[in-house]
Structure 1
Amino acid sequence: MAEVTASMAGTVLSVLVAPGDRVEAGQDVVILESMKMEVPVQAEQGGIVSEVKVEEGSFVGDGEVLLVLSVES
């Protein structure tokens, strides 16, 4: 399991993946809005999205878990 976390506090503008989706390392998975800037959050490693923990429009803090990946070994 690997967690993708917010790189800064902000509002979730869009969630680009859903449970069951396969993601690659470096792929944008969430877009945050902070101080009127759109900030992409990328997966640090590849895997399958097992859980999305945020909804569009919700506020997240720095370091908050956005989604969980099942990592392929």
Structure 2
Amino acid sequence: MKEIKANMAGNVWKILVSAGDQVEEEQEVVILESMKMEIPIEAEEGGTVNEVKVNEGDFVNEGDVIMTLE
């Protein structure tokens, strides 16, 4: 199981994938909003989205797991 983690604290502005979706390395999966800037979070490797652990509007801290891949 691979984890995608937040690289900074912020609000989850947009979730771009759902459970069951295939993602590729460096594909944007979530966009965080921090200090009025949009920060894309990318998959470090490809796989299938197993679980999305956040909802749009949630606040996340740096290092929080946003989703898992198989």
Q: Report TM bin, short chain.
A: over 0.9
TM (norm. structure 1) is 0.95
Residue correspondence of structure 1 range 7-26 to structure 2 within 5 A: 7-26=7-26
- The amino acid across from 1:15 in the alignment is I
TM-superposed deviation, 1:53: 0.1
Residues 28-53 of structure 1: CA distance to partner in whole angstroms, max 9, x if unpaired? Answer: 00000000000000000000000000
TM (norm. structure 2) is 0.99
TM-superposed deviation, 1:11: 0.1
Identity %: 59
Aligned residue pairs total 70
Unmatched 5+ stretches in structure 2: none
Unmatched 5+ stretches in structure 1: none
